[in-house]
Amino acid sequence: MTDFAAWSRAIQTRTENVLAALLPDADIAPEQLHAAMRYVCLGGGKRVRPMLAYAAGEAVGTEVARIDRAAAAVEMIHVYSLTHDDLPCMDDDDLRRGKPTCHVAYDEATALLVGDALQSLAFETLAHPVAASEAGVQVEMLRLLARASGSRGMAGGQAVDLVATGRALDLAELEFMHIHKTGALIQSAVLLGALAGGALETGTRERLERYARCIGLAFQVMDDVLDAETDTATLGKTAGKDAAQGKATYLTLMNVKEARAYAHELLDDALEAIQPFGERGLRLAQIARFIVERRY
Amino acid sequence: MTDFAAWSRAIQTRTENVLAALLPDADIAPEQLHAAMRYVCLGGGKRVRPMLAYAAGEAVGTEVARIDRAAAAVEMIHVYSLTHDDLPCMDDDDLRRGKPTCHVAYDEATALLVGDALQSLAFETLAHPVAASEAGVQVEMLRLLARASGSRGMAGGQAVDLVATGRALDLAELEFMHIHKTGALIQSAVLLGALAGGALETGTRERLERYARCIGLAFQVMDDVLDAETDTATLGKTAGKDAAQGKATYLTLMNVKEARAYAHELLDDALEAIQPFGERGLRLAQIARFIVERRY
């Protein structure tokens, strides 16, 4: 099966099933919290980070079942960050993946606890004995995910974003923000998927890190392009908000044509980094192309 | 040094120093987030959970330096939960440890990210190679802390607390809530301090779990008594709020005299559990007595 659309649907289904099994049932106390955790995690999402974890595992020859928990853990961190990001004190967004956001469907306190509990569940998921083949590597995976989530990773990028809203950033500042806000978690999706099968050679790890850095930035460039060009119904979240909120985006530094060209440069660099994986790097290459060529 | 007051001051100083070294400096970007993380973590606090970690380590013969990261990780989870608990959508509290709460000193978005980033930092801290003597045990410690923090632990207890506000609970419901809200993290402080030195025999672990369960409940009983009896200045946080907010407490089920008697029963049970540790259980015994006899 070399068809990317079919493979990505299979990964989306697998991710949905793995998450559904790992999330506590909605009839276990506290019922409302568990129902809300399932509400934000299940029933949609592009699942880009799980795709990256499975694709990176394939590139280094890890069996698929071994990657399930790493992929789910990274996705839980991502979903928790969206849940908190949508809160009134942050982006104050009502729509996510075409559904009311958590604090709209439930309430703010529940949305806060949903995010908090999902972060814990991500680490609990990754600390299960079956989540890695060696305990030493597993501790390293947990440390990588924690660092990528925290103040020198995703949460730190969100803090920079808050402070930057309403003022001009240059390209270096903008990329510093994105390397933290989205890049760190994308990189940990790639590394965790590969590490789930065991320790990596230095060269392999460096290739994966370079690939991840390039597609992380390309993802953000395209997010900014799509936010400006696409309507809310297609996007599944409120479109045009970045400009309306005075947020620094790539489109405050370059026009749409230049932004698309920049994304393609990053794509070429990502493809070059994984070239030595040959056939086994097929999915990583397809994801990189998808990120740059997607329309939502 | 058998004097508890001197030992607890030494642990408080040690915890302050360990946290100050583990928290990113306030001049590292994002500066405001790091300054706010240091604001909530440093400069005070009873440090009951670190005390428990060091005392449990002493009971099983673990060297003190080995316990530093476990103790700091549990304290970071505790401080993150206080920071989120004080937010307007939760308890909406202005005062904590005698200082303005994080969202008052900074703003709501910063307080949200401070809590999120501290939770990540707790796991990053515990996933460092020096945080345990064996990688297999370290993975178990990470899993224990994650479970104790999440929806079947602390965050779940807070969710029950939210739903329960304004309605009567019976003793079983109230204890279910507290075993999750505060008990789970207290238990992980005890277990992590002991596990930092290596795997535990089943009997040792069961004794520590029983001790932790008893003092966790006693801690909460006394918190309710002190909230009702003590003034805001002595408590360092807003007194009398539980009753004002219609929260279920032990004092809605029993009077102060009965609550104190119940706390003493729990104390006796805790002391019996650790009796086999002999001299090495001295600090655990002293902490249990402190919890029941404290005035703030």
For chain A, domains (ranges, CATH) are: 4-293 (1.10.600.10)
pLDDT for res A168? 78
Which residues does chain A have within 8 Å of residue B196's beta carbon, measured at their own beta carbons? none
Say if the Cβ atoms of B116 and A84 lie within 8 Å. yes
In B, which residues are within 8 Å of A150 by CB distance?
117, 120-121, 124
Once rounded to an integer, what is the mean pLDDT over residues B253-275? 95
Taking the CB of residue B295, how many other CB atoms lie within 10 A of it? 9
Quick one: pLDDT at residue A243? 64
Asked if A119 and B116 come within 8 Å (Cβ–Cβ), the reply is: yes
A-B contacts at Cβ under 8 angstroms: 167
Residue A92 is classified by DSSP as: -
Q: What is the mean pLDDT of residues B95-120?
A: 96
Distance from CA of B148 to the nearest CA of A (A): 9
Read off the pLDDT band of B233 (50, 70, 90). Answer: low
Cα distance between residue B76 and residue A4, in whole Å: 43
Whether the predicted pLDDT of B8 surpasses 70 = yes
Contacts of B102 by beta carbon, 8 Å cutoff, 6+ apart: B36, B39, B40, B83, B86, B96, B110, B111, B114
CA A174 to chain centre: 18
Instruction: Say what the pLDDT of residue A234 is.
Output: 63
- Is the CB of residue B57 less than 8 Å from the CB of residue B197? yes
Q: How confident is the model at residue B188 (pLDDT cuts 50, 70, 90)?
A: very high
Q: Is B136 exposed, middle or buried (0-12, 13-18, 19+ CB in 10 A)?
A: middle
Query: How many other CB atoms are there within 10 angstroms of residue B275's CB atom?
Result: 11
- Which residues fall within 8 angstroms of residue B246, CB to CB, at 6 or more apart? B165, B166
- Closest-CA distance, B81 to chain A, in angstroms, reads 9
- Measured between alpha carbons, how far is B241 from B220 in angstroms, rounded to an integer? 15
Q: Cβ of A25 under 8 Å from any chain B Cβ?
A: no
DSSP H stretches of helix in B196-255: 202-229, 232-235, 241-244
- Please indicate if any CB of chain B lies within 8 Å of the CB of A109: yes
The encoded tokens of residue B268 equal: 């006796």
CB proximity A104 to B under 8 Å: no
Token representation of residue A96: 């996510």
- What are the chain B neighbours of A122 within 8 Å (beta carbons)? 146
CA nearest A51: which of A286, A224, A216? A286
pLDDT of residue A233: 61
pLDDT band at B234 (very low <50, low <70, confident <90, very high): low
Between chains, do A127 and B146 touch, taking CB under 8 Å as contact?
yes
Distance from the Cα of B209 to chain A's closest Cα (Å) equals 20
Question: At CA B84, angle to CA B81 and CA B90, rounded to 5?
Answer: 115
Judging contacts by C-beta atoms under 8 Å, the chain B residues touching residue A33 are: 151, 155-156, 159
Buried b / exposed e across A184-194, counting CB within 10 Å, b at 16+?
Answer: bbbbbbbbbbb
Averaged pLDDT for residues B152-157: 96
Comparing CA positions, the residue from B212, B227, B220, B243 lying closest to residue B296 is: B227
Minimum CA–CA partner of A122 in chain B: B146
First to last CA, chain B: 24
Residue A158 touches partner B, C-beta closer than 8 Å: yes
Instruction: Please report the pLDDT score of residue A171 as a whole number.
Output: 85
Between CA B255 and CA A108 the distance in angstroms is 34
For testing the chain A interface, which of B137, B139, B158 should be mutated: the one with the most A CBs within 10 Å? B139
Q: What is the ipTM of this complex?
A: 0.94
Q: Which of residues 28-87 of B touch A (CB under 8 A)?
A: 28-30, 32-34, 37, 80-81, 84, 87
Q: Which residue of chain A is at minimal alpha-carbon distance from B37?
A: A151
Find the range with the poorest average confidence among A143-157, A216-230, B157-171, B231-245.
B231-245
Instruction: For chain B, give the mean pLDDT.
Output: 93
The Cα of B97 is separated from the nearest Cα of chain A by a number of Å equal to: 23
Below-50 pLDDT ranges, chain A = none
Beta bridge partners of B96: B99
pLDDT at A52: 98
Q: Which residue has the higher pLDDT, B230 or B36?
A: B36
Reported as a single tens digit per residue, the pLDDT across B202-211 is 999 999 999 9
Check if A127 contacts B (Cβ < 8 Å): yes
Lowest mean pLDDT among B63-67, B189-193, B229-233: B229-233
Residue B209, token pair as written in the block: 């779990």
Nearest to A196, CA basis, from A50, A81, A96: A50
Q: Supply A284's token pair.
A: 């990583």
> Residue B190, exposed/middle/buried by CB under 10 A (0-12, 13-18, 19+)?
buried
pLDDT category of residue B163 using cuts at 50, 70 and 90: confident
Specify the higher pLDDT residue, A253 or B83.
B83
Note the pLDDT of residue B217. 93
Whether residue B229 is predicted with pLDDT greater than 60 in this model: the reply is yes
Q: How far is B272 from chain A (nearest CA, A)?
A: 31
- Strand partners of residue A203: none
Average confidence (pLDDT) over B67-77? 98
Contacts of A194 (CB under 8 A, 6+ apart): A56, A57, A59, A60, A62, A200, A204, A205, A208
CB contact under 8 A, A120 and B150: yes
Query: How much of chain B exceeds pLDDT 90, in percent?
Result: 80
pLDDT grade, residue B241 (50/70/90)? low
> Which residues, in sequence order, are CB contacts of A145 under 8 Å at separation 6+?
A73, A74, A77, A122, A123, A126, A188, A192, B123
* Cβ <8 Å between B123 and A124: no
Q: A95-96 and A99-100: which strand pairing? A: antiparallel
Among A33, A112, A176, select the one facing B156 at the smallest CB separation: A33
The pairing of beta strand B95-96 with beta strand A99-100 = unpaired
User: What would the two tokens of residue B144 be?
Assistant: 């224990």
HSE (side-chain half, CA atoms, 13 Å) at B75: 34
- Give the pLDDT mean for B184-201: 97
Asked whether A170 and A253 are in contact (CB, 8 A), the reply is yes
Least confident stretch, A145-149, B154-158, B252-256: B252-256
**Residue B34, pLDDT score:** 98
Could you report the per-residue pLDDT of B112-125, keeping only the tens digit for each?
999 999 999 999 99
Q: How far apart are CA A193 and CA A62, in angstroms?
A: 8
Minimal CA separation from B169 to chain A, in Å: 15
Alpha carbons B26 and A91: distance in angstroms, whole number: 25
**Burial of B65: CB neighbours in 10 Å, binned 0-12, 13-18, 19+:** exposed
Taking CA atoms, A144 is separated from A193, B120, B127, in Å, by 12, 10, 9
Q: Is A100 helix (H, G, I), strand (E, B) or coil?
A: strand
